[in-house]
Copies of this chain bind each other. A is one copy, B any other.
Amino acid sequence: MARTLPQPAREAIEIVPVLQALADPVRLELVRELAKETEPRSCALGEYDLDITAPTLSHHWRVLREAGLTTTFVEGRTRWVELRREDVQARFPGLLDAVLA
């Protein structure tokens, strides 16, 4: 039912793409929003207080997912995003905590 979009395996998560993904104000804000809750959140533009268009938000979700920071899964016509806390923590211990503090 819920289809998960392609993402790197835990071992394939690399530091440079992760830092590149985090080094953007919009994406950093998105990651911080995701970190506030343990539940997955909707990808929808309306859910976030950002001054960007839908295609741009979609682009940022993709960058985060391809870097290995998030998981996206599709359910009907809504998409859910979730922070890959454990995977990132396993690869780069302390990184998320440091960035989110």
Contact = CB atoms under 8 A, between A and B. Distances in A.
Interface of A: 15-16, 19-20, 22-25, 28, 92-95, 97-99, 101
The winner among A15, A97, A98, A99 for most chain B CB atoms within 10 A is A98
Interface majority SS (helix, strand, loop, mixed), chain A: helix
Q: Count identical subunits in the complex.
A: 2
28 contacts: A15-B28, A15-B99, A16-B23, A16-B25, A16-B28, A19-B19, A19-B22, A19-B23, A19-B28, A19-B99, A20-B23, A22-B23, A23-B23, A92-B98, A92-B99, A92-B101, A93-B98, A93-B101, A94-B94, A94-B95, A94-B97, A94-B98, A94-B101, A95-B95, A95-B98, A95-B99, A97-B98, A98-B98
